Structures are given as C-alpha cells and as structure tokens.
Chain A
Amino acid sequence: MEQRPDPDQLLALIQAEAQQQTRGKLKIFLGYAAGVGKTFAMLEAAHQRQAEGVDLVVAYVETHGRVETEAMLRSLEVIPRKQVEYRGILLPEMDVDAALARRPQLALVDELAHTNAPGSRHLKRYQDVEELLANGIDVYTTLNVQHLESLNDVVAQITGVTVRETLPDRVIDETTELELIDLPPAELLRRLEEGKVYVPDQAARAIRQFFRPGNLTALRELTMRRAAERVDDQMRAYMQSHAIPGPWPAKETLLVCVDPGFLSERLVRAARRLAQEADAEWVALYVETRRHVRLTPAAQERVARALRLAEELGGKAVTLPGHAVAPTVLDYARSHNVTRIVVGKVVRPRWQERLWGSVVERIIRASGPIAVYVISGTAEGRERYPSEAARQPSRRAWLRYAQSALLVAAGAGLSALVHPLFAPTNLAMIFLLVVVIAAVALGRGPSLLAAVLSVLVFDFFFVPPQLTLAVSDTEYLLTFIALLAVGLIISNLTAQVREQAEAAQRREIRTIELYALSRDLAAAANLDEIVQHILVHAGQTFGREVAVLMPDAARRTVALYAASPGLTLDENELAVAAWVFQHGQPAGRGTDTLPAATARYLPLKTARGVVGVLGVTPTDPASRLSPDQRHLLEVFASQSALAIERAQLAEQAQRAKMLQATERLQTALLNSISHDLRTPLVSITGALSSLQEEEIALDTEARRSLVENAREEAERLNRLVGNLLDMTRIEAGALKLTRELCDVQDVIGAALESLGERLRSRPLTVESPPDLLAPLDFVLIVQVLVNLLDNALKYSPPGTPIEVLARVEGGDVIIQVADRGIGIPPDDLERVFDKFFRVQRPGQVGGTGLGLSICKGIVEAHAGRIWVQNRAGGGTVVAVALPLHLAGEGAP
C-alpha cells in the first residue's frame, strides 16, 4: 500500500511551520560549561550573517572583558543596555522595548537562562527572547546545559552544585536550530588556567570545584546526549512529513504521582525524561485526599509547583479528589490507558512499612499490566506531613492545651466528689468522658494530652496508694492501659471526623461559590450583567477589588470595561493587562511576568481565544492568595470567559438574524414594488395614452370607463405607497403614538367615513356603546379599522353583510370586524399577520400582504392584541383588543 502522510500529522506540521514563519527563528549555541566559546561562536556566526546582508543588532552580549570577544563586537550595532535600579544598585539589562522598536531581522542575546533584575518586565530573559520571537525577530543566543530544567537534578548530582537559574525544556524543543559548541575538557581547563575563562572573584572557589575533569566530562556527555535527542526529534519530524515508514507504536501514556513531599519536582523531571525516551504522552496526577487541607502552605505550594512544572515540561497536570491515593491513581491509569506509572518512595524504617504499608506497595500490588517505576528519596521526606500542632497558630494552640489540662482537672474534681461512692475503676469512666470532650472540642493534640494526663491523675489521686504514682494492685495496670488506649483511639477518631468535616466544609464553600457564580452567569441576559456578576462574585470570594478588561474593536489592546467601585488602573497596569491579553498568559502580582504590578491579571480564555482580562488586586497589599484560592480564581476566570463568550456569540447570532430578516424584508419589498407598483401604473398609463390618441374615436361611455379605471388604480397605488411607508415606520421603530382619549364610536365612524362609497353597497351593522372613551392614537386606530374593513370588502362577495362590533371586556375595549367571506385556511390563521404573507387562493385579489401586519404593528404599539378567527357559518372575524387604562409608565 502506498505510504501517505497522515493528514492530521501533516496539518500539525503545517501549522507549526506557519507559526515558524511569522515567529522569529531561535538558534541556541549550547555548551557544557562556561568558557567553551559559545559567545565567540555566536559572534562569529553573526559576522557571517552580516556579510550576507542580514540586518542584525546585538541586544545583549557579555564579553567579560575578553579582548577577542570585544574585537568581534566592534563592527556590530549594539543596542544600549537599560539600567534597572534595584536597592540602590544599577543592574544592566537588555532593553527589550528598544530592540522591538529597532525591528532587526536578527538579534543577539547572550545567556538565555539569565534571571532579570527585579522590576523588569519578565522574570527571566528567555521570556524576553520569546517576545522578540513572537514579533518576528530571529534570535541567536547561548546556553549552558546545566540550566536546563530537566537536567537540573542530574547536574546537581554530578557536580554537587545546584543551579538556580533554570530554563524550561520546551524552549529547546521549540528551537529551530541547536548548535553544539564543544571543547575537550583538557583544553577548557588549560584555558581556565591561562585566565581566559571568566570567573567572578567571590565565587572563585566554588567555580574551581565545578571545573574538575570528571565533572566536565560528565557535563559534556550530557550536553551531547541532549543535542542528539533534539536531532532525533528533527529526524522523526522529517520522516513523518515524508511518510517514511518506521516503528511508530501506538502512543504510550505515562503517569507520575505528585505528592506534597520534597521529591515531587524530581519525580516530574524524571517522568519527563522517561516519557521522552519512550516517546510517550505523560500526565502528572495529584490525588487530593482529606489530608490536603492539613498540609502547610509550603507543602501545598510544592504540589502546585510540581503540577506547574509538569505543564511547563509539556505534560498534563491533573488533580483528582479521592479517598485514598493508590486506588484513585490506578482507576485513572486504567481509564486513560496509562502504560507506566512513576511514583516516589520515601525510605522509611522497615518496621514502619511493615506496620502501615505504603502507597507505592499498594500501587504495585494492584497495578496488573502497568509498569511501575519507583524513584526513591532520602529521609528528608519525613517532614512531609507536618503535625497538627505545627499547622495551628501557636498562641491558640497553647491555650487549647491549657483548656485540655483544665478539663482533666475538672474531671479530677468531680471524681474527688464522687470518690467515696464508687470504686476507683469506675472513676476511669469520668476521665474517659473528659478525653472525649477534649477530642470533640479541642482537637487531636489537646485530647492526646488529656488522655495521658488522665491516666497520671487517676493513678496519682485515686488509685491506692494515693498521692503516689505507685500502684498496689496490678489489676489497675489493665485499667491504665485501657484508659490510655481508648483515649488515644477516641481522640484520633474524633479528630479525623472533625478534619473530614472541615475539609468537606471547605469543598462545600468552594462548590457553593462556583455554583453561585455559574448560576448567576447562566441567568445573566447580557454582557453587562455577566461582568457585574463576575465583579461581585470575585470580589466576595477573594476579598479583592476586581476589574474586567475587554478588547477594543481591533483586538489589539484592552480597555477597562468595569471595575469594583473605587478601583482605577493607571497606564502601567493597563499595559500589563494588554500583555496578558496578547499572550494569553497570566501576569502581574504573584506571577513570573511583570510581578511589580499591583494587580494579578488572568486571561479570560476559551477554546476560541482570549475574550478579555480579569484583574484582581488585594485591598491589603500584604495579603496573598493561597494555592487553593489561586486555583479557584483560575476556575472563576475560565467560567467567566465561557459566559462572556456565550454572550458575545449570542449577540453575533442576534445581529446575523436581524440582518437576515432585513434582507428577507428587502427582497420581499423589491418583489412587491416591482409587481404591485407597476400594475396600477400600467392601467393609468394605458388609460391616459388612449385618451391622448385623437385618432381613436371613443364614445363618452368608453372615456368614462377608462378614466374611472385609471382613477381607481391611482387610489390603489396611493394605498400601497401609504402601506409601505407605514410598514417602514413601524419597522424602523419610528411609530410615535399620540394617545388621547377618543370616543370609540367616533373612531369607527371616521373609519367608515373614509371608506365612503365602497361601503354603501353593503348591509352594515355597527354596534358600539355610547361615550366609550379609550386612550388611543385616533389616526392610527382609524387606519387599523380601515385596513380591516378594506379586507372585509375585498374578501367577501358583494352584497354580503359586514359587522363592526365594539364592547368592553375586562380592561380592554374589543373591536371586531366580521364578514361573510371566504374565510382563512386554519393553517394560515397565525401567518396572516406576517409581512407580505398572502393566503394563496385562486382568483387572486390584489393586495400587498401588508395591511394586517401594519394593523398588528399599530395594535402592539398600543400594548394591545389582534387575532383572527373563522366564523361559524362562514366568514372571518378580526378582533382588536386595546387596553382601556395605560399600564403605569410603560405606555407613552
């Protein structure tokens, strides 16, 4: 069979390529240590490109005073550095805005992993570089391998030096070109000795520690492997695009369990390496058990960081609530076809493991066909779950312990009172009661204290020999043990129940808040209401001032749409919000980008793009969002985004619908004009031209008939034009009612009068109560009746009776016009009020199909109703109901 490229893969490649075309290209000069000559190689390449005529600038290059490097810089255009002041020191930084304004084809930026001075736009330089790339500028940059996030641990293990400045691996993966700058370690060491490698004085010893031959060789190998991996990727991409058959197994999925321990970030990095080697997709899973709420903020932050890291490294982060870790992980793994699970294992004493078992063991036991990789960590994991006491604010804690001691004292007092009446063994029950009360009211720690104190007090005061801890009767030992054991178990159980209840309560609150938001958002009728709900809910839930920013018409930048009362955003804040809108990433306070801003900005993002920006700023500058709150805020943002998008789509649909309706009307109008306007003109022109022809001898009768016909047609034309004008007025909303109290009889009379001669031939019945006054627009209602009478005349045989009946019913005056005509097919009873609708029947009577819809427009403007019925015995009744009393201010 012919090997054809998979269309989906091709599409992905084309999209990637299209993005590359608009994005700048990134070339990284990768080295394994300082001094291998990355900067030099970059400058050399730059010279070559300049010779080819490429417009390039040096955005930031550090020469470290080396003469050869400085010489290379001389013939290149250098953008002056920006001096950022931080705590009184001026720090030189790359001037991103100047580089963007200069718009070169290629920019040189040294040291990609650099961390910017506080107060800069981005936390890291690679973010600056990404901005250059996003603006279509190619970038050459340099990087040492130890800065790569996924190799961070390995490098630390090899060299014993932990590198703080790290770079997400995706930057390398998205790099167009990777050039390996290699120098044998021996050569590098020689250069170091010659002083050709830049070594800052204060760190000289540490650096020398780093530059050991063994380290260098290991780093060099690491660098080459990483570069080779990248080549592999490119090869794979090439083979895919050219449909070269290869061993493409079904994608594997790898799952890594994140826990609050110190191991988690290492686990995530390891998982990423494993996943890459296996060409697998990977997921970082955190199971949120009831323990989660007991974690210290630091531990919660570790979880959040591990999950974020996973996302940065290209994995998917998932949080699932669950009763226990192992079954939740395995359920997820099975339902998502996970083939490998990576878990961390903290080394604990063997007896503990025997006693309690471990998550790892439970996973392995039930894993079945899924391969489990265990990565072990050192004992530092022991402080993983900090005790309850550590979590409680200390001042409150000692108070509760004191209360617990007091409870025991009270128990002792009660026991002393009843001591003469009961055997000492039974007094133990009182102390048991004390322990239970302590557990319920004061928590785990104090109740434990109560249990121990109870045993001591019981022994000391009530067990003979009294006032010593000695025990005369060994039987009491059993009482002690039972008292202690029951106390401990009860305190544990009670505390657990309490914690569960608290956790449930928190989840409940979170759910209620989200539910309240989504309910209000769903109920909101338009964009303004939605935004108001967002402001109110976000403000209440997070105790913060909130602003919603929406894009301008050109979708370039955002402007303040609505904000909590009193909140204003200055130009800087708006610039941050604009950045968030353009990049679709959060920025501002508490994030990695533009952290100096006073508010945190979140993109309101949906699958179709960014619809706006949400800004939250604390009223108290010191308050920070907990990881839980931050998560909730993100959910808030995405719910809000969906609601806003829904409103916008609804608006668009509404506009499209209106446009469509207008188009339909226009088409009908054109048809109507071309036919109905022309027909009378034909008769008029014909009649006039016949009269003009002097050769044709017309007798008086013929002349009279011609003139009569022309006149009738002219009247018809006039009615038609009048109808079209009225319809246009109603459609355009230009219908203005002049309501005044009118005598209904007078209205009917005026309508009959205006039809004049045409009605004379008909037996006419008019029934109308005298002095019935109603607030109507006299002229318009007369017109309604004229239209209805005109229809009655047209659609009933000559000589048949017509009736006009008026009466009061409820709060309405009802006027009916009835004929004995052909009636209306039941299916069309509703549609006769539609514009241009005409009942199809043989022997068509002339008309435009506008009369009844004009009536409807006028009657509805009066807040009235109009309907049509077929009469028993044949014929049609059209009824109009008009309110006798104006409904409050609703009416004009």
Chain B
Amino acid sequence: MSAILQVSSLVKRFGDLTAVNDVSFDIRKGTCFGLLGPNGAGKTTTIELMEGIKTPDEGKILYQGEPLGAQFRNEAGIMFQNTALQEFVTVREMLVQYSRFYPRTADIDQLVDEYSLGAFQHQDTRRISGGQKQRLLLAMALINLPKILFLDEPTTGLDPQSRRNLWERVRQVKAEGTTILLTTHYMEEAYELCDEIAIMDHGRIIAHGAPDVLLARHFDDVVVQIGEKDMPQQVGGPEFDATYRNGNAHIVTDDVNLTIEKLLSLEIPLDRLRIRARNLEDLFLELTGKELRA
C-alpha cells in the first residue's frame, strides 16, 4: 500500500526546547497510525505540524506526494485535543456552518444519526456534555468526507463507556477506508485501534512498528501480577526483582511454573494472581524507564 502522508526529518523548536527532533515516518493509506507518548513528548506538536497548523523549522511533510496545500485542506478531517466551539450556536448550526467550507460534504442528517447527536442537535454548544462534545467534534472532522482523519487524544477526559463508544465509531470510519492518525497516551486505545504505532519521548521516535510486532521484538516473557497487599515490597523486591505500580507487584518471568512454585513456597496468597502478556505499557516502561501517564 502506498503512503498517503510522508513525514521526513521534522524539527520544531520553541525557544531552547526542541519539541520535535528529527521525526520521520510514512502513513499508509487506509491504516490507523498511532503516535504514543507521555504528556510533553511532542505528540501534539508533531500532529499539528502534520495538520498544517504549525510550520516546521526543518523537514518535509508530503500529502499524496505534494506539500500541504488546498487539496489537503479539503481532504483532511481534524479533531483537536481541546477545541472551543463558537458560543451561542447550536450543534446542528455548527455542522451546517462547517459543511459550507467544503466542496464535498457528508449528509448532515446522516452524521447526526450516526453520531447520535439528534437528541441535542438544537442545543447551544455550551450546554452539551464532554462525551457529546467529542462526538460533535468527530462529526465536524468528518463533515468533508476526509481521506485522512487526525485525532489528537480523542478520548482524554471521557468516561470508559464514552471512550469505548468513540473507539467503535473510529473503527467504523476506518472500515470505510479513511486513513487515521491518532495520538494517545492510553496504550489500550493504541492497541485496540492502531495498525502501526510510533512511540515518542523527548521529541524523538524511540520505537516504530505494528503493536504485536513491537511487543514480540522486545519481549519473550510474561508478567505475573500479585496484589501488593499479598506480597509487600520488602518481599517482592529481593525475591523476585518485582516492580510495583498501581497497587500490584509485577514479576517478569520466562518460566511461569517456576515463579508460581516459588510464590507458593513463600506462602504468598494467590487470590489476586494474574498472568498477562507484555503490553505496550511495559514496552514504554522498558524503552524510557518511566510510566506513560507520568
């Protein structure tokens, strides 16, 4: 498959800070590409450079082989991390207004239906909930039937149900053939939606590939998880070299049987035992030495 968007040697500086430092990758047509990283890693700056909102200090961005121009504006759908909507305007009026900006547009009634905006389509944009607003912003980003859709942390601040709801809609958009570029700091989100990911830290890409391929490349072990209450740090540390986060001890092992035997011999209760494969969160920790949500 050919690349719809090509990014090469992108650099963006803000004063002394190099927010994006020599970033290159291609996004293949029809795929979902995820940019991952902790807050401040340079994800938003990178995506805004690609959206044409910011101009890079160095490097090139090509859309369908051409520099970003009028064609890109007409064919890109963009959902920012925080977008203020114009006040005193209803949800439907917002869609109508944006539909007038583009030569080719989606049917508004259909969008209202698909994104469940019907119940509040005549309400002022100031009086809708966070989940409703995200759905509206997504519908606005899709008003021009985009060929490429940019989603900057689309589910940040949403409750789990709204988040899953939005994932479902993103999958649907992708199924219709739209290319998606997504930034997130939720590993689960990236794993659920993305065909390919790039992990960013300090403005650089530190790993790039399909999620499963990346995991297989970096890990051939699993994690045994025990509740911290059941195995306090002073035991888990010296005995298993366990790391502690989110109230759990994480023991990395390539021999689960041996680990469990040892736990039993130490008379550690196994009520809260979980064995899981290594995930992107672990990968990030491994690569950067820090937690993703820090």
Same complex? no
